[in-house]
């Protein structure tokens, strides 16, 4: 077993999950969302997926509701993945993936950080999204930082 592979045994079935597999699942998630291919999007999700938005304290349970939430999301939005980091879980712990995504809705731009938990079947079991809003930094630290 390498640091990029985890082998789990369920009954008589053995499954190996690699960092490449984990990344590919989240890449398919974002690509199918961008294409509005809701059938492909649903295929990346576990039936009992849980989606959480901590800023608004909203939670959605279940594949059908989560797909519908995205299908009904207003505006002409587009998502471009900036970075994906995947880590296979240790025995008894879930697989974890984090994505940093650039999102545009009309002329508005923002970044999202999404934390994914992937189940033993290679499907997304949980998503927690953080949508930080840009703001001007407080005065008095200009001598320490550079703006970009």
- pLDDT band at 144, cuts 50/70/90? confident
What is the per-residue pLDDT for 52? 95
The tens digit of pLDDT for each residue in 17-66 reads: 688 899 999 999 999 999 999 999 999 999 999 999 998 899 999 999 99
Helix (H, G, I), strand (E, B) or coil at 26: helix
Count of alpha carbons within 13 angstroms of residue 120, beta-carbon side? 12
The tens digit of pLDDT for each residue in 88-138 reads: 777 777 889 999 999 998 888 999 999 999 998 999 999 999 988 777 877
Residue 14 has pLDDT above 70, yes or no: no
Q: Is the whole-model pTM more than 0.85? A: no
- pLDDT band at 5, cuts 50/70/90? very low
What is the C-alpha separation between 61 and 85, in angstroms, rounded? 25
What is the per-residue pLDDT for 17? 64
């Amino acid at each position: 077993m390498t640091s990029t592979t985890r082998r789990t045994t369920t009954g008589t079935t053995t499954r190996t999950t690699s960092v490449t597999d984990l990344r590919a699942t989240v890449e398919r998630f974002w690509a199918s969302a961008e294409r509005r291919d809701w059938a492909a999007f649903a295929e990346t999700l576990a039936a009992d997926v849980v989606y959480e938005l901590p800023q608004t304290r909203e939670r959605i349970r279940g594949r059908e509701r989560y797909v519908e939430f995205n299908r009904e999301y207003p505006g002409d939005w587009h998502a471009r993945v900036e970075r994906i980091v995947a880590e296979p879980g240790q025995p008894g712990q879930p697989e974890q993936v984090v994505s940093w995504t650039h999102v545009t809705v009309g002329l508005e731009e923002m970044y999202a950080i999404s934390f994914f938990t992937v189940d033993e079947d290679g499907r997304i079991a949980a998503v927690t999204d953080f949508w930080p809003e840009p703001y001007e930094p407080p005065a008095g630290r200009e001598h320490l930082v550079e703006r970009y």
